[in-house]
Amino acid sequence: MNRFGCSGRSCRGPGGLAVARRLAAAAAMLLVAASAAMAQDAHRVILGAKFQARLEEIGNGLPGVMGIRVVDLTSGQRFGVNDTLVFPQGSAIKVAVLVELFRQASEGKLSVDDRVTISTKDFVTGSQIRYFKDGTSAMSLHDLAVLMIIVSDNNATNLLIERVGMQNATRTMRELGLPNTRVQRKMIQPQESARGNENLSTPSEAARLMERIYRCDLPMSAAHCAEMRSILEIPHDGPIQQSVPSGIRVGQKTGTITGVRTNWGYVDLPGRPYALAVMGNYGESDEISNTIGVVADAAYAYFMRLGGATEYGTRVPVQLLREQGGRPPR
């Protein structure tokens, strides 16, 4: 058999020649299509390289240390700067507490409707519920979780940590393949910080957790994941939230310690969703926060450039692309 798929006398007659010509034409068309695809891939490689270079420029421009991880949730491509370094997390670690709460609810170990009596005995700063009357008020675990995420209430967080257990939250992170994401102390414990006992993660692991939350790739039911996501997606302040126009779903959480700022999140950008985690330390808090905003702006600009684009880079409405059966470039 020759390279046209025929052998012997079948290749020599008129019918055999026709088959050979058709096969040769098909092979030529495949080569042209493959060459065109490779050419367009080269365009996207250039865009990705520019984005990576921009992230490096931003990260290296911070006087302190910055770690960045950005994940394209369409193609799986990852971009990073110092993304395996371990950073203290401040309130961003509350995402891990939230995951553990809904994991245990999904397993039937607790209900998010369970109510907790508010007590002033362990109140710390950075809380709204510390103004509640001692012993006469109660809140559901769900509502404590809402306060923990949208106003970063530290007392609500500490009550949830007591309920789900720090060791359990850390174990779940480890089982998810995130060994450096650790819940090790309650909120506002300066004596623990002085001993170096911090809540920790890396940009790579934090972005991976946000990716898994976005995809509901977690050890919990789809219903519990959706409920958890609805809390994360309540609009609240943060550089990632502020980097996108209103109307685009964002799940995110910020963290603050003196000299440290962090922000974990995902952005459900039509046609090109993405996840990111940005962290900075050894710096002025406002300076780090502003730089996280620059990273978030750069990520939104990059994925907006890809979202709704055809394989040739032509911009069309995302809905039209879907209706015509087109696919965004990967």
Question: Closest by alpha carbon to 178, among 212, 154, 155, 148?
Answer: 212
Tell me which residue has tokens 């365009």.
43
Q: Cα(49)–Cα(1) distance, rounded to whole angstroms?
A: 45
Answer yes or no: is 276 within a domain: yes
CA distance 217 to 207: 13
Range of the domain at 94: 45-323
CATH number at residue 230: 3.40.710.10
Is 5 inside any structural domain? Answer: no
- Torsion angle of alpha carbons 71, 51, 302, 93, nearest 10°? 40
Q: The pTM is what?
A: 0.85
Residue 49: beta bridge partners? none
User: Would you say residue 264 lies in a domain?
Assistant: yes
Q: Dihedral, CA atoms, 264, 269, 274, 275, nearest 10 degrees?
A: 10
Whether 174 is covered by a domain: the verdict is yes
Q: Is 84 among the domain residues?
A: yes
Q: Is 108 left (phi over 0), alpha (psi -120 to 50) or beta?
A: left
Q: Are 293 and 261 in contact (CB under 8 A)?
A: no
Q: What is the pLDDT along the chain (330 residues), one digit of tens a residue?
A: 554 445 555 455 555 666 556 666 665 555 544 444 444 588 889 999 999 999 999 999 999 999 999 999 999 999 999 999 999 999 999 999 999 999 999 999 999 999 998 877 767 776 777 667 666 788 999 999 999 999 999 999 999 999 999 999 999 999 999 999 999 999 877 777 777 889 999 999 999 999 999 999 999 999 999 999 999 999 999 999 999 999 999 999 999 999 999 999 999 999 999 999 999 999 998 999 999 999 999 999 999 999 878 878 887 777 776 666 555 556
52 assigned to some structural domain: yes
Inside any domain, residue 243: yes
Task: Return d(Cα 327, Cα 307) in angstroms, integer.
Answer: 10
Say what the pLDDT of residue 41 is.
Answer: 83
10 inside domain? no
**DSSP H or E segment with residue 322:** helix 318-323
Per the document, the length of the chain is 330
Are 61 and 54 in contact by the 8 Å Cβ rule? The answer is no
Q: How far apart are CA 116 and CA 93, in angstroms?
A: 22
How many structural domains are present in the chain? 1
